[in-house]
C-alpha cells in the first residue's frame, strides 16, 4: 500500500495534461510542424500526443528515422468518449489521414471486428511482445490475434493516510472497519472512489465483480454472463456506498475529486490510479484490479503501415517508456523499465503495481463494449440505489439485448 505523499507530483502533471488536451482539441501539434515541413513519409499519430514531454519523444524518433518518416502528433478531445467518437467517424469513412492510433485498451475488440485496425503478424508480433507484461498484452488481442502494441498500462491502488492508519487494510471488510473506527473517533474517515455516471464508475463496478470472479460476457461475446457472483459484487458495492463512510457527493465523484478529497484531508482512503495492493474479498488472495492504459494500433487505411509500425515501436521503446513514466505518470508495459532504479525511486509503489498487473483483469472484451459501459454506468447509478439481485438480472437482460443487436441503450 502507498501513503498519500507517494505520487502527488505526478497527479499534478496529469491534471495539466488534461487541461492541455482540452485547449488543443482538433489542432495539429505545433511541435510536430516546422517551417521546412516534415521529411519523408508523414506518419500521423492520433492519441497520446499531448502527454507531458511527449513532444521530445516524437522529436527523438524523428531524428532516429533520419528522413525515412516524420511522426506528426495530432491532438484529440481530452475525454475518452470524445476521442472514440472522432476515431469511429473517421475510420468508418476510411480516412487515410490516420496512421498510428493511440487507443484506449477497451477499443481493441470493437475496432478489430470492424476491420479498422491491422492484425500484427510475423516479426511484428515478436517485436511487440518481447519483454511486454502479459496482462497489458492481452488488451491488444481479439480472438487470439494481436492488433496492437501496448504503450502504457495502469492499475488502481488503495491510497491511505499513514498518519491515521499505520497499516493498510487487506480486505474490503477491514477497509470499512478501519474507516468506521476513524469515524467513531471523530477523525477523517471517508473512503473516496469514482462513482459518477461515466467510465471511471464502470471501472469500479468491474473491480467489485472481478473480486468474486464474475464476468459480463463470455469469451466470444455471444452471451451475457452476469450471475450469482455478480450479485455478490453489486452487494459489496451497495454496502460500501450506503455505509455512511463515503462522501455525500459520491455519485458525482471522478478522478480529480477523489484525489482532491485525499489531498485536502477529507478522505482517509482513496481508490485511484497511480498518477499498496488493492483490497480483496479474502485475505491472502491476489487483487483482480481493472486494467487501464493505451495501445498503439496501425489503421487499416494507412498508406504506410510498415513505417507506422516502426514508429510505434520507437515511441514505446524502453528509454521512452521510462521518460513518459517520469514526466507524464504513465506506467510502463515493459518489465525491464520496472527494474530501472530511476523508475523505482519515482514509483515507490512499483512492487505493488507489478503484483497487481500479474492478476489484473480487463474490462469486458467485446465489440460492443461502449454499449455495455453505457448500460452499466446508467443502470447502476447511483450505487446506493442498487438492488443486487434485481439490478443484476436487469443488466444481464439489457446486455444480452445489445449482443443480439437490438440496439438497447439508455
- Quick one: 130 and 196 in the same domain? no
200, HSE (Cβ side, Cα atoms, 13 Å): 20
> 345 exposed, middle or buried (CB, 10 Å; 0-12, 13-18, 19+)?
exposed
| CB contact set of 358 (below 8 Å; sequence gap of 6+) | 134, 135, 286
Looking at residue 13, what is its pLDDT? 38
- Please give the Cα distance from 325 to 345 (Å, whole number): 12
Instruction: Establish if 235 belongs to a structural domain.
Output: yes
In terms of Cα–Cα distance, which of 6, 7, 8, 10 is closest to 327? Answer: 10
| CB contact set of 213 (below 8 Å; sequence gap of 6+) | 229
- Quick one: 145 and 171 in the same domain? no
Contact 184, 190 (CB under 8 A): no
Looking at residue 9, what is its pLDDT? 31
Q: Is the pLDDT of residue 28 over 60?
A: no
- Quick one: 149 and 197 in the same domain? no
Instruction: Establish if 36 belongs to a structural domain.
Output: yes
Give the 3-state secondary structure of residue 399. Answer: helix
CA 399 to chain centre: 22
What tens digit of pLDDT does each residue of 372-401 get? 999 999 999 999 999 999 999 999 999 999
The tally of domains found in the chain comes to 2
**Domain with 90 in it:** 2-153+292-359
Contact 69, 40 (CB under 8 A): yes
Beta bridge partners of 117: 299
- Quick one: 91 and 133 in the same domain? yes
Contact 194, 252 (CB under 8 A): no
Contact 349, 2 (CB under 8 A): yes
Q: Give me the CATH number covering residue 270.
A: 3.40.190.10
Peptide bond into 394 cis (omega under 30): no
User: Beta-carbon neighbour count of residue 160 at 10 Å?
Assistant: 26
What tens digit of pLDDT does each residue of 255-288 get? 999 999 998 999 999 999 876 477 787 787 877 8
User: Residue for cell digits 484531508?
Assistant: 265
Instruction: Establish if 134 belongs to a structural domain.
Output: yes
Q: Which three cell numbers stand for residue 267?
A: 478522505
- Quick one: 112 and 193 in the same domain? no
Give the 3-state secondary structure of residue 94. Answer: coil
Contact 263, 269 (CB under 8 A): no
The pLDDT-based confidence of 12 (bands split at 50, 70, 90) is very low
> 82 exposed, middle or buried (CB, 10 Å; 0-12, 13-18, 19+)?
middle
- Quick one: 297 and 276 in the same domain? no
CA 267 to chain centre: 23
What tens digit of pLDDT does each residue of 100-151 get? 999 999 999 999 999 999 999 999 999 999 999 999 999 999 999 999 999 9
Instruction: Establish if 409 belongs to a structural domain.
Output: no
Instruction: Establish if 19 belongs to a structural domain.
Output: yes
- Please give the Cα distance from 217 to 225 (Å, whole number): 5
- Quick one: 15 and 101 in the same domain? yes
Instruction: Establish if 410 belongs to a structural domain.
Output: no
The length of the chain in residues reads 410
Q: Which three cell numbers stand for residue 56?
A: 521530445
- Quick one: 115 and 244 in the same domain? no
- Quick one: 269 and 320 in the same domain? no
Q: Phi first, then psi: give them for residue 297, nearest 5 degrees.
A: -130, 150
213: DSSP letter = T
- Please give the Cα distance from 338 to 27 (Å, whole number): 34
pTM, rounded to two decimals: 0.85
- Quick one: 374 and 321 in the same domain? no
Q: What is the mean pLDDT of residues 57-70?
A: 97
- Quick one: 272 and 352 in the same domain? no
Beta bridge partners of 245: none
Beta bridge partners of 184: none
User: Residue for cell digits 469486458?
Assistant: 364
Instruction: Establish if 398 belongs to a structural domain.
Output: yes
- Please give the Cα distance from 71 to 48 (Å, whole number): 13
DSSP3 helix / strand / coil % (the chain, rounded to 5)? 45, 15, 40
- Quick one: 194 and 99 in the same domain? no
Q: What is the mean pLDDT of residues 189-200?
A: 95
Q: What is the mean pLDDT of residues 61-69?
A: 96
Q: Phi first, then psi: give them for residue 11, nearest 5 degrees.
A: -60, -40
Mean model confidence pLDDT for the chain: 89
Distances in whole angstroms, Cα of residue 164 to Cα of each of 4, 269, 371? 11, 10, 41
Q: Which three cell numbers stand for residue 61?
A: 524518433
State which H helix or E strand residue 372 sits in. Answer: helix 369-379
Amino acid at each position: 500500500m502507498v501513503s498519500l505523499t507517494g505520487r502527488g507530483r505526478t497527479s499534478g502533471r496529469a491534471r495539466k495534461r488534461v487541461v492541455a488536451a482540452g485547449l488543443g482539441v482538433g489542432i495539429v501539434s505545433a511541435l510536430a510542424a516546422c517551417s521546412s515541413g516534415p521529411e519523408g513519409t508523414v506518419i500521423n499519430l492520433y492519441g497520446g500526443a499531448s502527454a507531458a514531454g511527449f513532444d521530445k519523444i516524437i522529436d527523438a524518433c524523428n531524428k532516429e528515422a533520419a528522413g525515412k518518416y516524420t511522426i506528426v502528433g495530432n491532438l484529440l478531445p481530452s475525454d475518452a468518449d470524445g476521442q472514440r467518437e472522432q476515431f469511429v467517424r473517421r475510420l468508418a469513412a476510411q480516412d487515410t489521414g490516420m496512421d498510428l492510433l493511440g487507443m484506449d485498451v477497451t477499443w481493441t475488440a470493437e475496432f478489430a471486428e470492424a476491420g479498422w485496425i491491422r492484425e500484427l503478424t510475423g516479426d511484428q508480433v515478436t517485436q511487440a511482445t518481447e519483454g511486454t507484461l502479459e496482462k497489458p498484452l492481452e488488451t491488444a488481442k481479439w480472438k487470439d490475434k494481436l492488433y496492437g502494441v501496448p504503450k502504457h498500462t495502469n492499475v488502481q491502488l488503495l491510497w491511505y493516510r499513514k498518519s491515521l492508519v499505520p497499516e493498510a487494510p487487506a480486505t474490503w471488510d477491514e477497509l470499512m472497519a478501519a474507516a468506521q473506527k476513524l469515524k467513531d473517533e471523530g477523525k477523517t474517515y471517508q473512503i473516496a472512489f469514482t462513482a459518477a455516471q461515466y467510465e471511471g464508475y464502470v471501472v469500479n463496478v468491474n473491480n467489485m465483480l472481478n473480486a468474486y470472479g464474475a464476468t459480463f460476457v463470455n469469451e466470444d461475446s455471444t452471451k451475457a454472463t452476469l450471475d450469482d457472483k455478480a450479485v455478490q459484487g453489486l452487494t459489496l458495492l451497495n454496502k460500501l456506498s450506503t455505509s455512511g463512510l463515503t462522501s455525500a457527493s459520491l455519485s458525482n465523484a471522478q478522478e480529480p475529486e477523489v484525489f482532491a478529497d485525499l489531498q485536502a484531508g477529507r478522505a482517509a482512503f482513496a481508490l485511484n490510479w497511480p498518477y499498496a495492493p488493492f483490497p480483496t474479498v479474502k485475505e491472502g488472495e491476489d487483487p483482480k484490479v481493472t486494467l487501464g492504459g493505451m495501445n498503439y494500433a496501425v489503421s487499416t487505411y494507412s498508406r504506410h503501415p510498415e513505417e507506422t509500425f516502426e514508429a510505434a515501436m520507437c515511441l514505446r521503446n524502453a528509454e521512452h517508456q521510462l521518460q513518459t513514466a517520469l514526466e507524464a505518470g504513465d506506467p510502463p508495459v515493459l518489465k525491464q523499465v520496472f527494474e530501472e532504479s530511476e523508475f523505482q525511486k519515482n514509483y515507490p509503489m512499483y512492487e505493488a503495481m507489478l503484483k497487481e498487473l500479474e492478476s489484473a483483469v480487463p474490462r469486458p472484451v467485446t465489440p460492443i463494449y461502449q454499449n455495455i459501459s453505457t448500460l452499466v454506468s446508467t443502470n447502476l447509478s447511483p450505487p446506493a440505489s442498487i438492488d443486487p439481485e434485481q439490478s443484476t438480472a436487469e443488466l444481464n437482460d439489457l446486455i444480452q439485448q445489445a449482443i443480439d443487436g437490438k440496439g438497447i441503450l439508455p
